[in-house]
Structure 1
Amino acid sequence: MSAATGPRPRHVTVDGRRVRHRVDGDGPPVVLLHGIGRTLRDFTDQHDLLARRFRVHSVDLPGHGGSLPLAGPCTLPALGRFVGHYLDAVGLDRPVHLVGNSLGGAVAMRFAATEPARVASLALVDSAGFGQEVTIALRLLALRPLARLLLRPSRGMARRTERAIFRDPAFVTDERIAYALEVARQPYAARVMRELVRDLGTFRGVRPQWREELLTEVARHDIPTLVVWGDRDLILPAAHLDAARERFPRARTHLFSDCGHMPQIERAEEFQRLLVDLWAAAEAGEATDRPVPTGAG
């Protein structure tokens, strides 16, 4: 299913702020969290596949897409707290399976570190938090004068962003470019992007302090975890998967061959199978220290 199809998302109020989300299916609860400057549309294919067996929540993070910004600055700790408040708002009182891409992976880990009892499993997709290296495009946003220039919405910038995200150019459609431009034109989009970039990193890359603290806290809780990466990721390099294996030695891992920053789109069906296998083991209370074989996607 393309990003332009599927049921229309609706809204819920979280801490007095409008949040856009999409909820479908029945079964164990799943929450899908997108990356920086993105929206719940990055999980459309997964939402549709998983809703056949699970209660799936796709959410626009605050200040992204159809969700209003937080009342205060948009930071990683604030987004972690938001996840808990969202679960409260929609009445989810049992542990949930969290899936996070890029920034969404760091948000999922932040929430899991704070409220591990509410997390049934973690699936981290080309996730922020495992290394300093990040695309120059995001590092430049840490420089105030350049940030204002680079965050001016333009079709050219939207096209370059989509091309950087996907390995297969067939996914860089006119519809995706147009939607990315629409999202960038939201009145709060540039401000929220600047707040997040400055919270997470500098021109030199992702800050080590929050990464070290977060990974240490998450590892302490031994939550069933899957970490996957695309081997041609231009945003966060696939070498970060090695760091994930070192920090989370019991996690399942998988490297998708000839794939970019969003395996959940470029390798939708295989990615979905990896999730379901993780969740079956987690629900059965099995150990997750048998890594998924690394190989082609």
Structure 2
Amino acid sequence: MVFIALLGGCDSSPSDSSSGSGGSGGATASSGSTGSSGSTSGSGSGSTASSGSTSGAGGDAVSSSSSGGGQGGAGGDETATTGCASGRYILCEDFEDTDVGGIPQGWTKHGELVAVADDQAASGSRSLKMGAAPNGERRIYHDASQLGSGHWGRIRYRVQLPVPDAFVHSTIVALHGEGPTTGPQEVRVVDTVKEDKDGWDNDGNGSHIQYLYNVQPQGAEFGKGSDYSWYYEDAWHCVEWHIDGPTQRYDFYLDGELLDQISIANGPGNYAGSEIPDAFSEVRIGWNNYQSAPPGFTAWVDDVALDDERIGCED
């Protein structure tokens, strides 16, 4: 179910759906930041990433069930029972009013193996499912011109285990807009990099991930990443972000806790390492890989909400 609060004076013209060119992932930031890692909850920064995406029309996500239980990392949110409240948020989608195998009204499909499914849900009985594929885009796009110069966002996501044994950069939520100095770009606000079997911390199992803020303009990407202290888990997690163009500020929350390793607070007119637009044309939800990771990730997204105030994980 999607609800959009109409705000006066907003441009609703179609947006540019380009999202940059491909690259290779890494663990260092190209905007001059370097990271320190180690503790599972400590501070530090790194950065990463690789880039690129493709779009197209495709089939429905293949339905498959998964069971709970994961390893390490932050605890999952298994008790959420509510979805979107009508008219409460600028943009809200809980997928309950969309047929299984379909795409919600107002969203456009990009790539294969993405559709509403009823085998997992954080609330209600349906969610958006991204079926397994070695690489590429499995996302849905929505107009975001009503968000203005800053907003809060919230989604719940779940990743089925086992995950591919590969180094891979994956985007779950991205925004498209014109960077202050960089032109058209994708701003990735819920973004991860998974280590490979050699592991950045030499744990030997290649299961750790980092979260990051990542920007892909027409040129080289840049961003700011956490240490590799988290995991994909067969459990629902709530993630939130806050992004603001006038103050060039970004914050990320995992299950209600601020992950300050990737916070950015550059201040007005200071764009290096942030390049946050004053307006966005699209929000892109789903899964996008930038390296091949066979047999692929199976994941779900639910309870998408964007607003001008913090939404939180309780609703």
TM-score tier by shorter-chain length is under 0.3
Q: What TM-score does the superposition give when structure 2 sets the normalisation length?
A: 0.25
Higher RCO by CA contacts (8 Å cutoff, separation 6 or greater): 2
Q: What TM-score does the superposition give when structure 1 sets the normalisation length?
A: 0.26
| More helix, by proportion | 1
| More strand, by proportion | 2
